[in-house]
Amino acid sequence: MKYLIRTYGCQMNVHESEKLAGILESMNYSPCTSASEADIVIFNTCAIRESAEQKTFAHIGELKKLKAQKPSMLIAICGCMSQQNGYAELIKKKFPYVDIILGTHNISDLKELIEKRLATKKKVVAITESEDISGRDNMPKCRTSGLNAWVNIMYGCNNFCTYCIVPYVRGREVSRPACEIEKEVHELVEAGYKQITLLGQNVNSYKGPDGEGEIGFADLLKRLDKIEGDFWLTFMTSHPKDISNELIDTMASSTHIMHYLHLPVQSGSDRVLSLMNRRYTTAAYLEKIAYARKKIPDIEFSSDIIVGFPTETEQDFLDTLSLVKKVKYEQLFMFIYSKRGGTVAEKLDGQVDIATKKERLRRLIAAQEEIGTSVAEKYVGKTLTVLVNDVHPKKKGYMLGTTYFNKNVNFVGDRSLIGKKVKVEIQSSKLTVLTGKIVEEL
Ligand code: SF4
């Protein structure tokens, strides 16, 4: 029996697909690469943008013919799209040949749902909402991210940023018990994973049960940092309003935590930030960046920016450009605002026209190219510690690695180095990658 999982969206979905694959493999399914070979095809969907939804619908539609030729092939839809209000009905109507629809809270029920579908021959729908997360992590996982292992530390989001659908499809924040996370990280390090990435919609508001009480994110990191072994620890995503000096101090004094912070600012205009319900000002954001740079001088930052949020004026956009130039991000993920049904921003007056949005995006990309290039240039001539991840997929004889501040590095080497740390002297730089030569194996 073969399975194919198509994953859309963020790292949370990537990791959930690893869990789905783990469940399927425990049922004796093995992976395949095309739907024509598969006995079950799962679409793990994203709802963050309407364009992602349209793309998924098109891909589900492409299976209609195959399903008619091979009725025994199961088709399942899960993830954020299926959890949205009314979407299970919509999917049933639009794609009557879909067998199983499951929500974000029902991933761990996959085995029972497949068995039910096979036994009853009836369509199965499981969309529930529950704050009981005890079963969400104790399945086998088929990890697919090389030396990196994702670890969920919490689920859901309480923030209701006005452009975002996540709180409606992932529910309220619930944190995993600290001892469970500690055990999982410990096992992953023992198993040889070299980078552990803690996952949550807003990791900074982690408050996990711990014995009789509970602990916050900085204390969780302190605990994980004490685990012995050769690994780097990082986390995403951080909400700027919740990132504390204590957390930065913890990063500064740690052994394992990477000197890298993804801190999505979204806009450089306080007026727009308030409309987005982000609950911080640009001044407060810049203070946190300055504090982190003071405590961890070699830290690098990345961020997300949305251009063309409703009512965004030219001046608001110039404020964003100015903030980006002040921070000097190593990497920036830039998006055009697009309406998302079911959110507050969808109903705001003052939607910005698409030509203006595209023009602002183009200017932002140009600014970031200049900034990112100069950030990368400062490493030329320096010697950096690099974790060797894999063989370079395109450059023959080259390997690919990552620095402790999450920058890709190319260098000549062979696959015997995979999983090791090396010192690389940087000889040249581009926006997204550094190139150098190994000067020492660690
Ligand atoms: S913090 Fe805001 S942007 Fe992030 S998941 Fe929650 S609501 Fe969405």
Residue 315 falls within a domain, yes or no? Answer: yes
Residue 133 falls within a domain, yes or no? Answer: no
Distance 163 CA to ligand 1 centre (A): 9
**Residue 29 sits in a domain of what CATH number?**
3.40.50.12160
- Helix (H) / strand (E) element for 429: namely strand 421-429
169 and 278 co-located in one domain: yes
Q: From the CA of 237, give the closest atom in ligand 1.
A: 4
- pLDDT tens sequence across 408-426: 999 999 999 999 999 999 9
C-alpha distances in angstroms, 99 versus 103, 113, 333? 14, 10, 36
Distance 238 CA to ligand 1 centre (A): 10
Residue 131 falls within a domain, yes or no? Answer: no
228 and 358 co-located in one domain: yes
**Residue 422 sits in a domain of what CATH number?**
2.40.50.140
Using pLDDT thresholds of 50, 70 and 90, give the confidence band for residue 85: confident
Q: Which of 41, 47, 34 is nearest to 20 (CA)?
A: 41
End-to-end CA distance of the chain: 43
- pLDDT tens sequence across 119-134: 998 999 999 888 888 8
Distance 159 CA to ligand 1 centre (A): 6
Residue 346 falls within a domain, yes or no? Answer: yes
362 and 394 co-located in one domain: no
Q: Which of 159, 280, 335 to mutate to test the pocket of ligand 1 (most atoms within 8 A of CB)?
A: 159
pLDDT at 172 over 90: yes
247 and 298 co-located in one domain: yes
Q: Which of 138, 165, 157, 253 is nearest to 199 (CA)?
A: 157
Residue 202 falls within a domain, yes or no? Answer: yes
Single residue among 349, 375, 401 that ends a domain in this structure: 375
Beta-bridged to residue 102, according to DSSP, are 126
Residue 305 falls within a domain, yes or no? Answer: yes
Distance 156 CA to ligand 1 centre (A): 9
- pLDDT tens sequence across 355-399: 999 999 999 999 999 999 999 999 999 999 999 999 999 999 999
187 and 324 co-located in one domain: yes
DSSP 257: B
Return the biggest CA–CA distance within the chain. 66
Burial 265-294 (b: 16+ CB within 10 A, else e): bbbbbbebbebbebebebeebbebbeebee
pLDDT at 24 over 90: yes
pLDDT at 153 over 90: yes
- pLDDT tens sequence across 285-334: 999 999 999 999 999 999 999 999 999 999 999 999 999 999 999 999 99
Q: From the CA of 157, give the closest atom in ligand 1.
A: 6
Residue 285 falls within a domain, yes or no? Answer: yes
Distance 157 CA to ligand 1 centre (A): 6
Q: Whose Cα sits closest to atom 8 in ligand 1?
A: 164
Distance of CA 97 to the CA centre of its chain: 31
Q: Whose Cα sits closest to atom 2 in ligand 1?
A: 161
77 and 46 co-located in one domain: yes
Residue 414 falls within a domain, yes or no? Answer: yes
Q: Whose Cα sits closest to atom 4 in ligand 1?
A: 201
Single residue among 335, 351, 375 that ends a domain in this structure: 375
Single residue among 375, 403, 433 that ends a domain in this structure: 375
Distance 60 CA to ligand 1 centre (A): 27
20 and 168 co-located in one domain: no
106 lines ligand 1 (CB under 6 A): no
What is the pLDDT at residue 2?
Answer: 98
pLDDT at 49 over 90: no
3-state secondary structure of 379: coil
**Residue 160 sits in a domain of what CATH number?**
3.80.30.20
158 and 65 co-located in one domain: no
167 lines ligand 1 (CB under 6 A): yes
Number of domains in the chain: 3
Distance 164 CA to ligand 1 centre (A): 6
Distance 111 CA to ligand 1 centre (A): 30
333 lines ligand 1 (CB under 6 A): no
227 and 320 co-located in one domain: yes
288 lines ligand 1 (CB under 6 A): no
Q: Tokens at residue 22, please?
A: 């783990």
What is the pLDDT at residue 50?
Answer: 82
Q: What are phi and psi of 147, to 5 degrees?
A: -80, -5
Q: From the CA of 278, give the closest atom in ligand 1.
A: 2
State the average pLDDT over residues 262-277.
Answer: 98
Q: What is the pTM of this model?
A: 0.94
202 lines ligand 1 (CB under 6 A): yes
155 and 252 co-located in one domain: yes
396 and 340 co-located in one domain: no
163 and 115 co-located in one domain: no
Range of the domain at 417: 383-441
Q: Is 211 exposed, middle or buried (0-12, 13-18, 19+ CB in 10 A)?
A: exposed
Sheet of strand 30-31, all strands in order from the earlier edge strand to the far edge: 30-31, 2-7, 40-45, 74-79, 100-102, 124-126
Are residues 204 and 239 in contact, defined by beta-carbon separation less than 8 angstroms?
A: yes
